[in-house]
Structure 1
Amino acid sequence: MTGTQSPTVPHYDPTDPAVQADPYPLYRTLRETDPLHWNPPGFFLLTRYADVHALLRDPRLGADNGADNGGDTASDGDGETHTERMAGGDTPSMILMDPPGHTRLRALVNKVFTPRSIAYLHERIERIVDRLLDNWGTGEGDFVEDFAYPLPLEVICEMLGVPEADRADVRDWSEDMAHLVDPVVTPETVARGLRGRRRIVAYFRDLVAERRRLPGEDILSGLIRAGTEGDRLTSDELLSTAALLVVAGHETTANMIANGMLALLRHPDQLALLRSSGPSLVPSAVEEMLRYDGPAQAVGRRALTGLDLHGVRVPRGARLVLSLGAANRDPERFPDPDRFDIARRDNRHLALSGGAHFCVGAPLARMEAAVAFTALLRRHPHPELAAEPRWRERTGLRGLRELRVRV
């Protein structure tokens, strides 16, 4: 099975440290020379905006549950494969499901993840941001460890009713579990992710039992109520959804804020523009941060039927990896796409996916980032990059391990 690949086309290896540090030159080459790139051991990579935008919404593609995907059906020694990666027991995560199962679960989550419930958090997020900035003080610090990671962790844990004393453990498990959403994995990363998943699911099993006895106003209590009013939410569905919300609400938002901060630091003209414009330009800046260097670089899909792409017959069952990061730098959609422009117009990027699997927490992530950068530039209007950043070893979620910043 081959795509349009030729001997001169570079191999796509998202585990290469150089690609993890800066994948965009490789994306550019693949977009221009091999838009349907066949990547051994077994998936097609698509990098053009038009293709990715269309296929995110194409009913001929389903969520990639990993079945029959050759070399990356890695297990942890207990026979557990990609199909079960994000499960809370016997039930796959919502992101690995297709309609009607996905539609049903998404509707139940939407009942508690409402715009009203998110708007209610605005003042609380402001307080968390101010406290983190107070603790940061002045001088040099690690923006990731001191700010970008604690903020969304506290927010999502508070929404789920996780006690403060347990949040450090939840963060560690979430970081491990995040490897399971990578479209390209190794046996080692799968084993690490599965261990994190088991721990976080066991934790939420106990917390759910407590919330059944003493319900509160948190989302976990709301999900429990959603499972008893009308459509039934099973225990496994509840656990897999709670685990997913932690990873999606913490990892992606932390990476979004840290990546955005790095973009500002590397483009002092845009930092100066944002500083002089005040809060009015912050929403536009957040969208450009998402487009320019988004936290989710790729999503996996599976062909439910044979389809023709770029003159190649893609067979039923084939894996496709849709590169959101490459699509968001496509010059056919975004003029001068490698330029970081916080005032960019018509910025309909794909950083938060699209179609049925569009990020359910998108409004919350955008609000957290907007509050964070508004307060940050008010308190520290002249941040400086103090050292070269260090990137995490991820193939799907793109984020910084360390970002030294001087204020």
Structure 2
Amino acid sequence: MRMVTADEFNLAREVEYGSAEQNETVRRVVEAVRTQGDDALLRYTAEFDKVQLTTETLRVTDDEIQAAYDRVEPDFLEAIRAAAANIRSFHEKQKRGSWMDLQPDGTMLGQILRPLRRVGVYVPGGKAAYPSSVLMNVIPAQVAGVPEIVMATPPATGGREGIDPYILVAAAEAGVREMYRIGGAQAVAALAYGTATIAPVDKICGPGNIYVALAKRAVFGAVDIDSIAGPSEIAVLADDSAEPAYVAADLLSQAEHDEMASAILITPSAALAEAVAAEVERQLASLPREPIARASIERYGAIVRVASLEEGVALVNRLAPEHLEIMTAAPTELLGSIENAGAIFLGPYSSEPVGDYFAGPNHILPTNGTARFSSPVNVDDYMKKSSLIQYSKEALLRDGAHIMALARHEGLEGHARAIELRLEAERGN
């Protein structure tokens, strides 16, 4: 891994906006599905996924879901159920209710919280299938009370045998009852605009390749989306107390996601820096996804030497990493200084995969520095809020002049007159 100082370090990873050709392909696909519905959806599934479907075979059947249960190992089923229970328990604590505030003069103000009606969850195929992401998308929506949750996943995530059985089982365990074998930009468009077979949703969540990301951007406004997710990131802030093998293993746990992932160690310790660099090379040699992890480490990995942990914290806040591990002698003492991070892992036993799979907090986190202003996926992402205003006569008589003054200052006489009419009527009584 390259070693640099804090002043020399620059991640310099560009945000992926797609090529002109990719953007044009997505525009064409989305517009075709919007206007032609199932015909375009089936046509692009045949063209891009090389799978011939009909409207009758778009939806995954109950028999297929049961067959998926027969194909997964008992230990996987036990693990996915335990993880789901932890994720549900954590997100239950995020629930908030509607509220109303009744004033002595009879005015009532408040906020009404309601779940979204229908949410679409996209589950990618490609380099790997991620059943854990199914849980992280679906369970917060369920906790929020979303009555309809639909999953879309490419028709050959499991190769020639169809959809990956682990994805189907994870979705079923999370409570999804409506699943479709569609992927890519055409799936996003079908969820957003609906077809004769698939009803439209209110929000689309879940990661995907560049075509999925561009399609989500294209349909935003017609529906809500979670985010445009970037490559995975981890930063480890560590001192001499850290175990080099642990640090190296956690860096590689993110580097193996894809070639664009970034893995960064920030430390004031020269000895730790050297030891971790050696450990990364040693562990890379036996990593099954070594080519991917090595490309990530060489392009976007770094060991950054800082003068102190305080300087390290400042660098962390500038990076705003998706995942932050603090492996220092007293990690909780630094917690109050961390302003920007998607998820924070404290101490040697809080390895990043603990959060990815099992602990309970959501692993869908802000990337590309967006932890400066955004948060992990949570129950609020599947809720909508309405303000409630019931003004009393007493309050309107008291505040009406102020309201009219502000309206007329903005040149909106109609606004002012709407109040003035009421004041004149009430004062004339």
Same fold, TM exceeding 0.5? no
Given the two structures, how large is their TM-score scaled by the length of structure 1? 0.25
Given the two structures, how large is their TM-score scaled by the length of structure 2? 0.24
Which structure has the larger Rg over C-alpha atoms?
2
From the two aligned structures, give the one with the greater strand fraction: 2
**Higher RCO (C-alpha 8 Å, min separation 6):** 1
